[in-house]
Amino acid sequence: VLDASAKSTSGIEYGQMYHLGHYDQCMDINRDRDSGLRKGIISQYCLADVYLESYLTRTQVSRIERFNETALVHWGVCMPASCSERDVVQVVEAISGSRAVSIPKDACHREVIAEPSTLDIVYVSIIMFFVLMVALSTLYHIQSICTRRNEKKTTMVYVLRSFSIIENIKKLAQDSKDDHGLGCINGIKAVAMFTILSGHALLFLFGGAGYNPGFYYEQLKYLRNAFLLNSPLLVDTFLLLSGFLFARLLLIELDKRHGKINFGLLYIFRYIRLTPAYGAMIALYATWLPRLGSGPLWDQRMLLEQQRCRESWWRNALYINNYLGTDSICMFQSWYLAADSQLFVLAPLLLYPLWRYGRRVGATLLGTVATVSVVVPFLVTYYGDEVADLQSNSYFANVYVKTHMRATAYIFGLAVGYLVHIMQQKNITIGKQKLFFFWTASTLIGTVSMLSITTFYNSAGTSDYLYNALYAALHRLGWSLSMWLVLACVTGNAGPLKKFLSSRLLVPISRLTYCAYLTNGLVELYFSASQRVPLY
């Protein structure tokens, strides 16, 4: 028991706050290697919070060095399962020399096999039903291929074939016959998603048990790391693409139907298209998530996620979770779906006047809304004393996830969609001089927007309210302007870049971005919560 517990602290100056001991050794005490059963004294693993005073720490970006402050250390201790939390506190106080020790909720883990709940059984039953449907549909498809049978295209056949693995692989890799020049969007989505997933990995890596997290905060200062560290900015790329694609779709349909569109059906179709997979992930979080693994941090993190999803699933289902309950959001990345859905609902209020009344009215309307979308983040950040730092829970809950703080990119997407629609409709081309200017300007603006994070994380971005507000308002505007790439690709003015982004290899990756978005948080959470030792 003593050997499996953490003995002493080290590296606190560099932010090493996790002293985990040996979790697996603790949980395997008195376990028979042949039968796997435990005999004699049963152990429990607890992760205590220990407050140590008068330390220099380097964990906060707001003040890189902090003197004589209390350091919170997470201290792993192995104890007999019969010991109470008070017993654990007394032992840790004796080992650490601190009189300020507490045991957080779900910080003690005992090996208990819990029976599945009714909700757990229902979830597994539904998943197994769809697995069976996939298996039967695939077998039916294989039989049709082998027998070369020409089947009638009835509704039942379409339903059966829709679950076939073979059919879905074909659809994933299939190019659209008439993509209106949108093939390069696949490449932009794929590249952006890779970068965003890397950024999420970094967030979980440095938000978890780190051996030297001070190194991370030091790296924020260097230009060479800006692209990866500022990967959350690429989320705006998806918002812009979402606005662009919706504008193209709606404007084409308005032309075809002479302005007569049932927007209610449009909203219902989107809800049906997005929600089943989304709901399946929420249900997984609310049921089986804590059973998927183990580790020193597992119960604290996974039970918290489960509780959040059980309490707030309805906010996710209504796509309002970026405004209600943001401090206890189910699936941290789900704010994007809420923001995108809200903008989707509001977009026709801008697009229909554009189509109906022409460019002059449309330009005035879009320009006004775009200006407001830039001014609002400035005012909220300046008067709300918010630091534009994604590591801050306050900034994430109060600023980062709000639709009115993220609308700029979507509005620019609507504008680009309208421009492309007009250009293709009237065969408008762009001259070489204008092309050179737009490429140069967008490259410079995008580079400045991306690299400006290093200036923010230096001294200017930690105490100057005006700088914080300007950064919050302008770096997203700059990134949206740099997305000239979208217009250039779609109109055939991107040269070799269009050829690369339109590659067939990127098509299936692009079509899997939604699934990657839904599952990425779970993967990162799993590795973070199952850590046995702090990562270097």
Sequence ranges of the domains in the chain: 12-110, 118-172, 175-529
The predicted structure's pLDDT at residue 272: 95
The DSSP symbol for 323 reads T
CB 66 within 8 A of CB 56: yes
With 0-12 CB in 10 A as exposed, 13-18 as middle and 19+ as buried, what is 150? exposed
Q: What's the per-residue H, E or C state across 426-452?
A: HCCCCCHHHHHHHHHHHHHHHHHHHHH
Q: Would you give the DSSP letter of residue 318? A: T
Phi, psi of 449 (to 5 degrees): -60, -40
pLDDT at 149: 65
Residue owning tokens 């959001």: 329
Q: Which two tokens stand for residue 335?
A: 């704010």
In single-letter form, the type of residue at position 288 comes to W
Each residue's pLDDT, cut to its tens digit, for the chain (536 residues) gives 788 888 777 777 777 888 888 998 998 887 776 666 667 778 899 999 998 876 544 444 443 444 445 678 899 999 998 899 999 999 888 888 788 889 998 889 888 777 889 999 999 999 999 999 999 999 988 888 887 766 667 777 788 888 899 988 988 888 766 566 788 888 999 988 988 888 888 878 777 888 877 777 777 777 777 777 777 788 899 999 999 999 999 999 999 988 888 899 999 999 999 999 999 999 999 999 999 999 999 999 999 999 999 999 999 999 999 999 888 899 989 999 999 999 999 999 999 988 888 778 878 888 899 999 999 988 888 887 655 545 446 777 778 899 999 999 999 999 999 999 988 888 888 889 999 999 999 999 999 988 887 776 665 455 667 877 888 888 889 999 988 899 999 888 888 888 898 888 888 999 999 999 999 999 999 998 999 988 88
Residue type, 513: T
- Position 207 scores a pLDDT of 76
Sequence-distant (6+) residues with CB within 8 A of 127 are: 280
Rounded CA-CA distance 451/223 in Å is 6
Residue 410 DSSP SS3:
helix
What pLDDT was estimated at residue 111?
81
Cα angle, residue 362 at apex, residues 359 and 365 outer, rounded to 5°? 150
Q: Which helix (H) or strand (E) holds 158?
A: helix 155-162
> Which residue is listed with tokens 């070799």?
496
pTM of the model: 0.88
Strands 43-57 and 101-102: antiparallel
Tell me the CA distances in angstroms from 453 to 24, 405, 461, 475, one per residue in order: 40, 18, 9, 9
DSSP assignment letter at 332 = G
Spatial separation of the C-alpha atoms in residues 419 and 251, rounded to whole Å: 11
Identify the pLDDT of residue 374.
Answer: 92
The H helix count followed by the E strand count for the chain is 23, 5
pLDDT at residue 58 in the model: 46
- At 224 the pLDDT is 78
Contacts of 443 (CB under 8 A, 6+ apart): 482
Amino acid code (one letter) for 269: F
